[in-house]
Structure 1
Amino acid sequence: MERPELPLPQLHAFVVLAEELHFGHAAARLGIAQPPLSQQIRRLEDKVGHALFSREPGRVTLTATGRELLPAARRALTDLADGLAAARAVGSGQTGRLRIGFAASLALTVLPGLLRTFRQRFPGVHLDIREMTTAPQIAALHAETIDIGLLREPPAAEAELGFRTILTEPFVAVLPVTHPLAAQRTVRLAQLADSPFVLLPRAVGPQLYDQITGLCTAAGFTPRIAQHAVEWQTVCALVETGLGVSLAPASIRRIRLKSVAFRRIEPGIARTRVAVAWRKNDHNPLVTRLLATVSQDPPDRP
């Protein structure tokens, strides 16, 4: 059996009249004349199929049908009010869920401060944080499974995505402490030509991989890659075992490993970029809020 639709204005009129039990008082409270109020009640009674009020001279009372309907009518109006308030909060960027992808190494730089500031400003927003390398973040943005990306070395151009650089940092040489070059304060890239390298796979960060190998090429050699690792922490751990050396963003120095040395490299002009990424056609106000937070609180450089 199909359920009758009960228009909310009629429910509102019904609840007010049920509380006042006086047509004149109810009409004044609703800001309408008595005839329109009577019409609303009659239409609702027609939909229910039974009288909701007993009308006697000088007296209005709820019928058994009206008493049964009243709690449900109040719940419907309360649910609507709550829903409208929640929708307004989401629409204004005060509540909701924001899905953020981040490169693991950014937990050593921009991520903690950015999330702390955002949570202080918008405590009603649920942050869904997902650790992802650069290439998966780009794919997730296109697939709309994340709203914001925090990544290293974004692609040169993406028609559907926007990118904003929020941090640049130099590269450092990552060496086992037993490596002869670990005794030096700075290392020339050419001095690493005979050492095996531990690097991230190109598939997880093509631009960063190409930048590192390009630096080696400019220094006169092609790096001999002995091992790949998906995360910088793993790269450093493999370097510690003596499997090879690496070039990494300077913030990696915050990973404390007793048997790993981090040394400045020469020339020191090459820097890696950290960027925030988003879909250009995304009108989610939370994305705008986070981008504004990044602009207002630029991260400290390493």
Structure 2
Amino acid sequence: MERPELPLPQLHAFVVLAEELHFGRAAARLGIAQPPLSQQIRRLEDKVGHALFTRAPGRITLTPAGSELLPAARRALTDLADGLAAARAVGSGSAGRLRIGFAGSLALTVLPGLLRTFRHQFPGVHLDIHEMTTAPQIAALHDKTIDIGLLREPPSDETELGFRTVLSEPFVAVLPSTHPLATQRTVQLAQFADSPFVLMPRTVGPSLHDQIIGLCTSAGFTPRIVQHAVEWQTVCALVETGLGVSLAPASIRRIRLKGVAFRRIEPRTARTRVAVAWRENDHNPLVRCLLAAISQDPPNSTPSRSSG
């Protein structure tokens, strides 16, 4: 049996009249005249197929059918109000879900402060955080499995993604604490020409990998890579074993390993860039809210907008 549709204005009129049990007061509360209110109730009764009110001079009461309908009508109106409020909250960016990808090393720099700022401004938003390197973040943005990326050295050939720099930091040399150069506060990059290197594979961060190779090439040598590691903490751990040396962003110094030394390198102009990334055609208001939060409190950065 097909269920009749019950228009919400008629349910609203029914609930108000059931609460007031007086046509005059109910009409005044609804802001309408009594005849339109009576028509709404009659139409609803026609759809139900039974009278909802017993009418007597100067007095009305709910029928058994009306008493049965009243709780369901109230729930329907409450659910609608809740749904409208939730839709407005999501539409305004004050609620919903935001999926963020981040490079693991950024947990040592920009990520904690950014998340604190955003959660303070938008406590109703659920943050879904995923640790991933640069290349997987780019793929996840295109696949729409994340909404925001926090990555190192964004690619220069992207046309569908926007990027904004949030942090620029120098490189440091990572070497075993027993390495002869560990006694120096600053080292020349050319001094590592004969050293084996531990680096991230190019597949997880092509631009950063190419930048490190380019720094070595500018210093007059091609690094001899003996081991790859996907995470910077693993790179440092392998360096600690004496497997080789590495070049890494300066924030890696916050990884505390007794057998690893971090040293400034010359030239000091070599820097790595951290950027926030997003889809240019993304209409999720939460994306714009997070970008605004970054703009309000950029962490040691000079924000600049670039894409493509």
Asked if TM exceeds 0.5, the reply is yes
SS in structure 2 of the partner of residue 80 of structure 1: helix
**For 2:157 and 2:213, how far apart are their aligned partners in 1?**
21
Distance apart, 1:93 and its partner CA: 1.2
Look up the match of 1:267.
267
* Counterpart for residue 186 of structure 1: 186
CA distance in 1, matches of 2:140, 2:2: 42
1:233 maps to 233
Equivalent position of 1:169 in the other structure:
169
* Range with bigger deviation, 45-54 or 232-241: 45-54
Q: Secondary structure at the match of 1:128?
A: strand
User: Which residue does the alignment assign to 2:280?
Assistant: 280
Q: Give the match for residue 23 of structure 2.
A: 23
Distance in 1 of aligned mates of 2:171 and 2:69: 71
Structure 2 segments unaligned to the other structure (5+ residues): 302-308
Tell me the distance in 1 between the aligned counterparts of 2:3 and 2:120. 46
**Which secondary structure state, in structure 1, belongs to the residue aligned with residue 221 of structure 2?**
coil
Q: Using the TM superposition, give the Cα deviation of residue 300 of structure 1 relative to its aligned residue in structure 2, in angstroms.
A: 2.8
2:81 aligns with 81
1:52 equivalenced with 2:52 (yes/no) = yes
Moved over 3 A (4+): none
1:203-242 equivalence runs, <5 A:
203-242=203-242
Q: Work out the CA distance in 2 between the residues paired with 1:3 and 1:144.
A: 39
How far apart are residue 25 of structure 1 and its match? 1.3
Tell whether 2:226 aligns with 1:201. no
Flag structure 1 segments of 5+ consecutive residues without an equivalent.
Answer: none
Tell me, what secondary structure is at the counterpart of 1:278?
strand
1:79-115 CA distance string (max 9 Å, x none): 1111111111111111111111100000111011111
Q: Which amino acid aligns with 1:289?
A: C
**Displacement, 1:163?**
0.2
How many residues are treated as equivalent by the alignment? 301
What SS does the aligned partner of 1:25 have?
helix
Aligned residue identity for 1:187: V
Tell me by how many angstroms 1:225 deviates. 0.6
What is the percent sequence identity of the aligned residues?
Answer: 86
Is the 8 Å Cα contact of residues 147 and 287 (structure 2) preserved in structure 1? Answer: yes
Q: CA deviation at 1:120?
A: 1.3
RMSD: 1.0
CA distance, structure 2, for counterparts of residue 28 and residue 235 of structure 1? 74
Opposite residue 165 of structure 1, the aligned amino acid is T
Tell me the distance in 1 between the aligned counterparts of 2:10 and 2:159: 50
Counterpart CA distance in 2 for 1:3 and 1:138 is 49
- Deviation of 1:221 after TM superposition, in Å, equals 1.0
Tell me which residue corresponds to 1:244.
244
- Tell me what 1:92 maps to: 92
Mapped partners of 1:116, 1:33: distance in 2: 53
Moved more, 176-185 or 231-240: 176-185
Alignment partners' CA distance in 2, 1:25 and 1:296: 52
Partners of 2:270 and 2:293 lie apart in 1 by 27
| CA distance in 1 between partners of 2:59 and 2:178 (Å) | 98
Contact 2:166–2:300 (Cα < 8 Å) also in 1: no
- For 2:227 and 2:253, locate their aligned partners in 1 and report how far apart those are by CA, in whole Å: 20
Give, in angstroms, the shift of residue 78 of structure 1. Answer: 0.8
> In 1, distance between residues paired with 2:249 and 2:255?
11
Within 1, Cα distance between the matches of 2:271 and 2:12? 64
| Counterparts of residues 104-143 of structure 1 (less than 5 Å) | 104-143=104-143
* 3-state SS of paired residue (2:55): strand
2:35 maps to 35
CA distance in 2, matches of 1:268, 1:2: 76
TM-score (norm: length of structure 2): 0.96
- Any idea what SS the aligned residue of 1:221 has? coil
Shift of 1:157: 3.1
In the TM superposition, residue 39 of structure 1 has moved relative to its aligned partner by: 1.1
Deviation at 1:22, TM superposition (A): 1.3
